[in-house]
Structures are given as C-alpha cells and as structure tokens.
Amino acid sequence: MSWLGGVRARLTASLVAVVALTAIVLGVSASVVVDLRLHDQMLEAAAEQARFDLSVVVPERQLPDRPTPEDIARSGLADTFRRGAVETFVDLGDDARFQSDERLAGLLTLLPADMQARVDRGELAYGWLDVGGEPALVVGGRPAGGGPAFYFVRDVAGVNAAIDQLRLALAVGALVMVVFALVISRRVARSILAPVEEAGRVAERIERGDLSARVPVTSRDEFGTWAERFNRMTGVLADTIRRLEAAQHQNRRFVADVSHELRTPLAALVAEASIVGDHLDELPTESRRAAELLVADVGRMRSLVEELMELSRFDASAEEVAVEPVDVVRLVQAVIASRQPTARFDPPAPSVVVDTDPRRLERILANFLDNAREHAGATDVTVELDVSGGDLVLAVSDRGPGVPEDRLQRIFERFTKLDPSRSGGSSGLGLAIAAEHAALLGGYLQAMNREGGGLRLELVVPAVTRSLHDGDGPVTQAFESGTPTTTTRESAP
C-alpha cells in the first residue's frame, strides 16, 4: 500500500499548504493594514497638533522677531510640548539652534532632502526618522505669522513595538493553524481514503482466492457508489471464475475418463498391431503399406493416451517428487543414448551429483530430444549442462526452422502446434508435460531462437550441487537403459 501512503501524504501536504498559504497571506495583509493604519492615524494626529501649536500656542508666547535659544528656553514652549510627549527642535537661523533634548542635536542632518525646504516655504512637512537610536515622527513647520522653524519630534517606539507584537501573534497563530490543519488533514485524508484502503485489502483477499470478499458500503456518496460497483464487479468476476473452474474440472475429468476408458481397447490394438508388425513381410505388397500405417498410427495413439494419462495425474495433483542424489552427467548420457545417439554433449565434469528427481529430469530431457529429432532431424543437436550459477541449467539446441518470436512462449501450452513446419506427427503435449515436470521440480522452461536458425530449449531448476568430480569422486549415479543404479567407486591409491 505504499502508493496509498503516498496519496495520503500528498493530500495532507496539499491541505496543510493551502492553510499555511492562507494564514501567511492573511497575516501579512493584516500586519500591513494595521501598520499603515496606525502610522496614518499617528501622522494625522501629529499634523493636527502641530498646526494647533504653530497657530495658537507659539504666537501666545509673543516671541521676539528674531528669538534666541535663550528666548525659546524662557518661553516654556519646550515644557509645554513635552507634556504632550513631544520633544522640540527650533531652527533660529544663522546656525542658532534650540533642542529640548540632547538627542536632537544634528536633527537637521537627518531630515529628508526636501523636508527642510518645504518648511522654509511655510509648509507643514513630516518624516519618519531614527533619532537618537529610536524611531520617531518629525513634523516641521513655521508659525502662521512667520518666525523660526519648529520641528516636533514624537517617539513612535511604542507603536512599532505594538505592531511587532501583532506580527508575532499572527505568526504564532499561523503556526497553530498549520499544526491544527496537519492533524485535521491527516484525519480527513484517512477518512477519504478509507474506502480505497478497504478495497485494497479486499483485492488482496481475492488474490489469495477468497472470492466472497466485498467492500463494505458505508455511505451514499461517490465512494459508496464506487464500493457498490466494485462489489458488483467482484461478484461477476467470482461467478466467471467459478464457471471457468467448473468447466476446467469437467474438461480434466473428461480427459481422464476418456484416457482411462481407452487403455483396455488400446492394449488390445497394440497387441494386434504388434502381431501385424511381426508379419509385415508375409503380407501382399498392396496390403503392406496399409499395415505399416496401421502399426504407426496405433503407436501414436498409444503415446497420446499415455501423455493424456500423465497430464490427468498432474491435474489431479497425484504426482509427487522423489528427491535423491543424481549424477546428472550419467543421466544425460543415458537419455541421449536411448533417444538420440547423434546428439553432441560436452559435460562440465565427468560426474556432477545434485539432489533432484531423476525420473522427472529424464522425462524433460527426453521430451526436449524428441522435439529436436522431430523438427530438426538427427543432426546438429547439442545438449548442454551448467551448474555454475547455483541453478541446474539443462539445454537442448537444434538447427531446425525455429518458432516465430511472438509465439515462442506458447510452445509450452497443451496441444500447441504453432507452425506446420514444426508440428510433424506430434500431439503437442510433449513440451507441456515437460513444463509440468519442471514446475514440480521448482523450476521453469524457456525457449529462444538461435542465431543462424534453430531453437534452444532450457530447463532451469534450483539445485544443491553435492559434488563435481574429475573421475575420482567417491559417489556417482549410474544409468543404463534409463534405469538408475547407484555405484560406489573408491579413489585410486
């Protein structure tokens, strides 16, 4: 279910990303709006107060036309303005300055380039500055009747601190929202994907053979409709599989019954054909050919029935594997001698002993050789044995016409005759039987076309190699006429 975990993670991440993005956008927007609004309000209040001070408070003190710093100090204006949390800087001209606080020294050098010029023209101007290391709002102007330039300095550190606290609160709120969204989104994702997870578990049960497994319908939404359709599909699939199994069982039973019923009359036919075959030379010339065909056809029928009986045993699971130490080299040599003596075989060692079932190994190799002899003739057939890779690989190669690539793997199916040039008089069961034997041994068969023409058939089975001997090994498995016999040979002194 790794793919499902990925979907849940992506869904959770998407929901959290949406919430996080929303929280960030709202938080930034709120902080910017509040910042601008507070500064605008402070600026409006400071400008209104500056107009009042310049038009009312300063003229009331009746300063001289050209006041000095001492005149400003004696007027008490600085104390009056300080009670409103405003420090005062006065530009008296001729490099004469008055400041109500030492931190205001050099204020003119901090003012924006056009602010002092606007004040000199009698306009009211402002600027946001850092004065004495603290943020401040500076509003400048001249009295209505003329006079020195007054600059009112307001400390805005408290406002900035409040805005910073607001931003911190918004950041913490956004983090809480992300954590909350993570928890909720995981639950939502789990709830949304629960029917899919349940369907995955049901599919696994069906894969294991439980055709009664169904997805529970827990809602009437789209997932509920999907679950109902999935269950209907599963029901149809289960019915189809049952019908196919029943039909397959009937077919296998039919083959087994027919094969069994044919054994008795076939035995009589074989005996009668044997008698006819023994007296072919005594028959008239015009009847001899028909008798020869009769003997050959009875032989083929006997082989077909034996193969059908063997397949019926496979279908009934009546075959058992008998594993024992086997000298594969001796076995291969014995099968070649009985089936196709002209085949070439170069063993990797004089003796290769492995644990396997000799009867099934012999049957597979015999079917390989029969297939090569039937389709490629008695020449250019090569048998190869390899146990170097941990598996036993037994291959038979020929120089026949080969098989079309798109049909290559079908040659191991029952009654398969894919190409007339390779069909001959065979029943199409030999390689299918070999595949059944290979499966019982825990291996498999594979086929491939050879370069330059021809077919290569391989048996690959896991094998525990007991030993590879150069001729002096203590234990070998001998085969004569296809019958295994164990022999013991002492090493030379």
Residue 415 has pLDDT above 60, yes or no: yes
367: closest CA among 392, 393, 335, 327? 335
Per-residue pLDDT, averaged over 426-440, amounts to 80
Query: Which of 163, 187, 205 corresponds to the end of one domain?
Result: 163
CATH label of the domain that carries residue 410: 3.30.565.10
* Residue 336 placed within a domain: yes
**Same-domain check for residues 302 and 342:** no
* Residue 202 placed within a domain: no
- Over pLDDT 90: what percentage of the chain? 14
Q: With contact defined as beta carbons under 8 Å apart, do 492 and 472 qualify?
A: yes
What integer best gives the mean pLDDT of the chain? 80
Confidence of residue 308 (pLDDT cuts 50, 70, 90): low
Q: Name beta bridge partners: 91.
A: 97, 149
**Same-domain check for residues 303 and 328:** no
pLDDT for 383 equals: 93
* Residue 424 placed within a domain: yes
**What is the separation of C-alpha 108 from the centre of its chain, rounded to a whole number of angstroms?**
70
pLDDT digits (tens, 9 = 90+) for 187-235: 877 777 777 777 778 888 887 878 788 888 877 777 778 788 888 888 8
Question: What is the rounded distance in angstroms from the CA atom of residue 115 to the CA atom of residue 139?
Answer: 9
Residues 6+ apart with CB under 8 A from 416: 410, 428, 431, 432
Residue 265 has pLDDT above 70, yes or no: yes
Per-residue pLDDT, averaged over 57-75, amounts to 87
Which of 5-19, 58-72, 99-113, 442-456 bottoms out in mean pLDDT, i.e. has the lowest? 5-19
Residue 492 has pLDDT above 50, yes or no: no
**Distances, alpha carbon 373 to alpha carbons 377, 381, 401, 418, 461, in Å:** 5, 8, 12, 17, 24
* Residue 359 placed within a domain: yes
| Highest averaged pLDDT of the listed ranges 8-22, 88-102, 368-382 | 88-102
Residue 171 has pLDDT above 80, yes or no: yes
pLDDT for 473 equals: 42
pLDDT for 273 equals: 74
**Same-domain check for residues 267 and 400:** no
pLDDT for 236 equals: 86
pLDDT for 380 equals: 85
**Distances, alpha carbon 192 to alpha carbons 2, 7, 21, 195, 254, in Å:** 17, 11, 23, 7, 51
* Residue 288 placed within a domain: yes
pLDDT for 321 equals: 80
Confidence of residue 253 (pLDDT cuts 50, 70, 90): confident
**Same-domain check for residues 309 and 334:** no
**Same-domain check for residues 483 and 361:** yes
pLDDT digits (tens, 9 = 90+) for 266-304: 677 767 777 777 777 777 777 777 777 777 777 767 666
* Residue 405 placed within a domain: yes
Confidence of residue 484 (pLDDT cuts 50, 70, 90): very low
**Same-domain check for residues 282 and 373:** no
**Same-domain check for residues 379 and 302:** no
Query: Which of 264, 284, 315 corresponds to the end of one domain?
Result: 315
Domains in the chain: how many in total?
3
**Same-domain check for residues 483 and 364:** yes
CATH label of the domain that carries residue 266: 1.10.287
Per-residue pLDDT, averaged over 394-406, amounts to 87
pLDDT digits (tens, 9 = 90+) for 28-53: 898 899 888 988 998 999 999 999 98
**Same-domain check for residues 351 and 293:** no
**Same-domain check for residues 330 and 300:** no
Two structure tokens written together for 468:
């590879």
Residue-number span of the structural domain to which 337 is assigned: 324-488
* Residue 308 placed within a domain: yes
* Residue 426 placed within a domain: yes
**Same-domain check for residues 129 and 8:** yes
**Same-domain check for residues 416 and 300:** no
Residue with tokens 């607001």: 166
Q: With contact defined as beta carbons under 8 Å apart, do 391 and 427 qualify?
A: no
Which of 10-14, 87-91, 228-232, 489-493 bottoms out in mean pLDDT, i.e. has the lowest? 489-493
Query: Which of 315, 334, 369 corresponds to the end of one domain?
Result: 315
In 10 A of CB 462, how many CB atoms? 13
